[in-house]
């Protein structure tokens, strides 16, 4: 028997500690968790497909029953392809709920055999989002390293440095 398999799909642009908290909790609930990094969507991402997959792989390396794959199909198709009967999503606010509720109903129509599983964010990650992280990183805010795994913090710092060099922001103003 293959056991209980779940997917955790998302953009992970970049992975945050909120995402990793969900991965860790899901890894205790299921025999196998496949994190699906969405690729080639109409949505433009800051990090490339390969970067997002690599960052997520590194960040999840400690979880022995978690693997990371890119996917460019419908979420329910990705679930079927890896043999998963469960789709995990994280919920932070009411706005997440509305979006997820609509998606869940669509997924149910497409694949009634697949169950959506919603995990409530841990309170410390309630206001943490990948977009906020990118915004703060663009301004070089040091707080970012508390919000993302160390490998992502390193990448964001490198980006910040490149940006600062391009704009001359590191030069002393006279
Ligand atoms: P998507 O573009 O598919 O929403 P994201 O990478 O933004 O992808 O998020 C992936 C999943 O992780 C979503 O279910 C989202 O609600 C959840 N998530 C994002 N940030 C947090 C957080 N801080 N705490 C808990 N869940 C989160």
Q: Which atom of ligand 1 lies closest to the CA of 126?
A: 23
* pTM of the complete model: 0.91
Residue 141: the pLDDT is 86
Q: In Å, how far are 65, 71, 130, 148, 154 from 109, measured between CA atoms?
A: 29, 21, 29, 35, 41
d(CA 39, CA 68): 13
Q: Say what percent of the chain tops pLDDT 90.
A: 78
Q: Encode pLDDT of 70-85 as tens digits.
A: 999 999 999 999 999 9
Q: In Å, how far are 24, 46, 138, 141, 145 from 161, measured between CA atoms?
A: 31, 16, 9, 12, 15
Length of the chain: 174
Nearest CA to ligand 1 atom 17: 90
- When pLDDT is cut at 50, 70 and 90, the band that residue 173 belongs to is very low
Average pLDDT on 122-128 reads 93
Q: Which atom of ligand 1 lies closest to the CA of 89?
A: 14
């Amino acid at each position: 028997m293959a056991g209980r398999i779940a997917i955790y799909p998302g953009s992970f642009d970049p992975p945050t500690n909120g995402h990793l908290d969900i991965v860790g909790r899901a890894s205790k609930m299921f025999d196998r968790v496949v994190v699906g990094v969405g690729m080639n969507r109409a949505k433009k991402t800051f990090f490339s497909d390969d970067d997002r997959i690599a960052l997520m792989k590194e960040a999840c390396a400690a979880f022995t029953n978690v693997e990371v794959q890119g996917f460019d199909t419908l979420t329910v198709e990705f679930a079927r392809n890896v043999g998963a009967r469960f789709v995990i999503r994280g919920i932070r606010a009411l706005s997440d709920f509305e979006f997820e509720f609509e998606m869940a109903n669509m997924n149910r129509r497409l694949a009634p055999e697949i169950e959506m599983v919603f995990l409530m964010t841990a309170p410390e990650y309630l206001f943490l989002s990948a977009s906020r992280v990118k915004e703060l990183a663009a301004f070089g805010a040091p707080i970012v390293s508390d919000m993302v795994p160390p490998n992502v913090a390193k990448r964001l710092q490198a980006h910040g440095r490149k940006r600062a060099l391009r704009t001359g922001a590191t030069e002393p103003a006279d």
